[in-house]
Amino acid sequence: MRNFDYARAESAHQAVAAHGTDREVSFLAGGTTLLDLVKLDVMQPQKVVDINRVDLDGIERLDDGRLRIGAMVTNTALARDQRVINDYAVLSQALLAGASTQLRNKATTGGNMMQRVRCPYFRDGVSACNKREPGSGCSAIGGVNRSVHAVLGTSDQCIASHPSDMCVAMIAIGATVQVEGPEGQREIDFADFHLLPGETPAREHALEPGELITHVTLDAPITGSQSAYLKLRDRQSYQFALASSAVIVQMDGDTITQARVALGGVGTKPWRAPEVEAALKGKSASERLFADAAGRAFENATAYSQNAYKIPLGQQAIVRNLADLIDSTAA
């Protein structure tokens, strides 16, 4: 049993003050990741700051059409919000494709962004893992790497895939992250929030020590667009993506006037695919076009001993999602 200090905050400012800049302190929201990793002895916080009383559980439409989401909004509440269903269907679908009902009822928007990888070598507490113990090596390279390991954005330090469905939808939509820390408030582009492993896989996000996510603000919806999330996995429920895609398209007849595409399960961070978007824009929709565009997302992919299948599977996640979405729009 490891002892730790506990503090309960009533405001974001109080939470930041209680946390300080000590990297051995953790914020506690829904706890669906933190408590698991504490039980496994992978995370060993010296202090926990409970933010469940902080007033960050609201969703509001801003004057410029964007949607501002509090960090403590649960995944269930966000998925069921009528504004999200109407304007950001891809996000609602992504949230409902993740975890279980019980976990969605507890998991928060900010916590989902901060969830850590599901690589078994990271979670077992004893294998070589540069993310858990920098400089120790990466057991997944050359080990068991079939399901929760990436083919995009990897390095010789880490190949674990990012686990979030919600974040794949958000990076497709476009968003801004608001944070508060010891140095005050600032904003981070959602595309820059999660970091590639590179030479420092232990640093997973752009937060500075002691910073707290307070809100995520989604870009205004694209007028007349349709969106969808497709998740391919070993079983239908309570399973992480082998490959997934978030797609947003705006059509003028048969022509794609604008597209946003992001991938999950195949990247070390939520993976936006601008090369796919550029290949689709201004073209007449067809499966041949979709296949050609999808292939571009994986031109720089690196396969490992057991996960080469993710390259064609990831392409199919894009093709099928586009085809189904545009067919439903035409109907």
* CATH code of residue 307: 3.30.390.50
Residue 265: inside a domain: yes
Half-sphere exposure of 184 (CA within 13 A, CB side): 1
End-of-domain residue from the set 37, 53, 69: 53
**What is the average pLDDT across 200-228?**
98
* Rg of the Cα atoms in the chain: 20
Residue 73 forms part of a structural domain: no
Distance CA 107, CA 241 (A): 18
Q: How many CB atoms lie within 10 A of CB 106?
A: 16
| Rounded average pLDDT over 301-318 | 98
Give a yes or no: residue 153 inside a domain: no
DSSP code, position 63: T
Question: 253-296, pLDDT tens digit by residue?
Answer: 999 999 999 999 999 999 999 999 999 999 999 999 999 999 99
Is 22 domain-assigned? yes
CA separation for the pair 191, 167 (Å, rounded): 10
Proportion of the chain above pLDDT 70, given as a percent = 100
pLDDT band, very low/low/confident/very high, at 103 (cuts 50, 70, 90): very high
Range of 47's domain?
Answer: 5-53
pLDDT at 331: 66
Last residue of a domain, one of 53, 72, 91: 53
Q: Residue 155 falls within a domain, yes or no?
A: no
**Total tally of structural domains belonging to the chain:** 2
* DSSP per residue, 90-107: HHHHHHHTSS-HHHHHH-
In tens, the pLDDT along 44-73 reads 999 999 999 999 999 999 999 999 999 999
Q: Which of helix, strand or coil describes residue 178?
A: strand
Cα distances (angstroms) measured from residue 231 to each of 171, 203, 239, 264: 16, 27, 10, 8
- Residue 147: inside a domain, yes or no? no
Q: How high is the mean pLDDT of the chain?
A: 97
> For residue 22, what is the domain's CATH number?
3.30.43.10
Rounded to two decimals, the pTM is 0.98
Q: What is the mean pLDDT of residues 306-318?
A: 98
Q: Strands 175-181 and 212-218, how do they pair?
A: antiparallel
Q: What is the pLDDT of residue 329?
A: 78
Instruction: Please give the structure tokens belonging to residue 74.
Output: 């649960």
Q: Tell me which of 53, 75, 91 is where a domain ends.
A: 53
In a domain, 105, yes or no: no
CB within 8 A of 88, min separation 6: which ones? 67, 169, 173, 218, 221, 227
**Residue 330: pLDDT band by 50, 70, 90 thresholds?**
confident
| Average pLDDT, integer, range 184-203 | 98
Tell me, yes or no, whether 185 lies in a domain.
no
Q: Rounded to whole angstroms, how far apart are CA atoms 149 and 307?
A: 7
Q: Please count the other Cβ atoms lying within 10 Å of the Cβ belonging to residue 83.
A: 15
The model's pLDDT over 146-162, given as tens digits with 9 standing for 90+, comes to 999 999 999 999 999 99
Q: Categorize the per-residue pLDDT at 86 as very low, low, confident or very high, splitting at 50, 70 and 90.
A: very high
Which residue has 């969830």 as its token pair? 115
Query: Distance between CA 290 and CA 247 in Å, rounded?
Result: 12
Start-to-end C-alpha separation, the chain = 59
DSSP code of 248? Answer: E
